[in-house]
Amino acid sequence: ETGVTQTPRHLVMGMTNKKSLKCEQHLGHNAMYWYKQSAKKPLELMFVYNFKEQTENNSVPSRFSPECPNSSHLFLHLHTLQPEDSALYLCASSQALTSGNTIYFGEGSWLTVV
Amino acid sequence: AQKVTQAQTEISVVEKEDVTLDCVYETRDTTYYLFWYKQPPSGELVFLIRRNSFDEQNEISGRYSWNFQKSTSSFNFTITASQVVDSAVYFCALSPPSGTYKYIFGTGTRLKVLA
């Protein structure tokens, strides 16, 4: 059983839709992340939260809106997306933000924007 | 500049062959961490190993082994007697002292193990 769970695993949405990705970590970690993985591109860090506070927004367009109600849950709210936003969105967590902490990933949410 | 290079984009081997995945990194830091992750077709990145820059001992875990050489800035991963279930994309990553969110990932090596 994975320590980081993501739902839904697959999502197809139109460009005018609003949807959300959900992530929950069961590892007791304090930091959570959203990454984007597009075909033939490196992993891109999108957002970082530490103790529910956002510490990093890696120049992500405002059509992606994160929410972290507590250290165990992380959401990514999606609205008016573009087809180029189609990708695998990975949630992850780590005990802390200090160097050397291992980042544990969820299974990802495959997003297709039509 | 900090960088991780995985020059092998895709490797195909026949089951039971040994295979080595290369990882070369660049950093000016003296303290850093290196990682390997496995990403099967399902999507999840599975953590395999973490190594700090002061520990150059090679590591073996079952059929997996890692060779860390600071002199050549390499952290190579060998799978012995490969199996079809080893088919995945493997990522090498560097964590600099500035924090985990500064992880630098390589572009990954796709390994195909043929039956």
What is residue A103's DSSP assignment? P
CA angle A107, A50, A93 (to 5 degrees): 20
B43, A108: Cβ pair inside 8 Å? yes
Q: Determine how β-strand A109-113 pairs with β-strand A10-13.
A: parallel
Residues 6+ apart with CB under 8 A from A18: A77, A78, A79
Which residue positions in chain B have pLDDT lower than 70?
99-100
Residue B102: the pLDDT is 78
B82 dihedral zone (left: phi>0; alpha: psi -120 to 50; beta): beta
Residue B107 near chain A (CB below 8 Å):
yes
Listed residue (A95, A101, A109, A102) closest to A46, CA to CA? A109
Residue B99: the pLDDT is 67
CA angle B37, B79, A107 (to 5 degrees): 25
Q: How far apart are CA A8 and CA B82, in angstroms?
A: 32
Residue B100 near chain A (CB below 8 Å):
yes
Q: Kindly give the confidence (pLDDT) of every residue in chain A, 114 residues in length, as a single tens digit, with 9 standing for 90 and above.
A: 579 999 999 999 999 899 999 999 999 999 999 999 998 788 999 999 999 998 888 889 999 999 999 999 999 999 999 999 999 999 999 999 888 899 999 999 999 999
| Contact pairs from chain A to chain B, CB under 8 Å | 64
